[in-house]
Structure 1
């Protein structure tokens, strides 16, 4: 699945939650910003360390979880 290599899981980072590129940006926070109505451009403008591809990766990861699959299965 496209962009999933950008999602990392490290037990030492954010309590092992899935994060963007090893940064302290949990997927759930990105999804929350989108759910609050922020656009991709607004998120990237407010947080320049993030890239549009990171947001797409979070959406792809969420889709994967909703489908009942795991990151390991998608690899």
Structure 2
């Protein structure tokens, strides 16, 4: 997992310091939004030719790791 997380960068000069993939302007947030919206990994890779499969997995690994540090409130059903 650490190898994947190394693909995620934080740079205050890129995308307002949000977590990004390999110092590009592709934010972890946007990739997760595509996935949660129903896009597949293949869809994302087809749309963004400079991304790699490991980049998408890195976004998922980052999201999983961040859950260890924050509680998210989900409204009761």
TM-score scaled to structure 1, two decimals?
0.88
Greater helix percent: which structure?
1
Tell me the distance in 2 between the aligned counterparts of 1:15 and 1:29.
14
Query: What's the C-alpha RMSD, in Å, of the aligned pairs?
Result: 1.1
Tell me the distance in 2 between the aligned counterparts of 1:23 and 1:56.
16
Q: Number of aligned pairs?
A: 69
Structure 1: 5+ residue stretches without partners: 70-75
Larger Rg: 2
TM-score scaled to structure 2, two decimals?
0.85
Higher relative contact order (CA 8 A, sep 6+): 1
What residue is the counterpart of 1:65 in the other structure?
Answer: 66
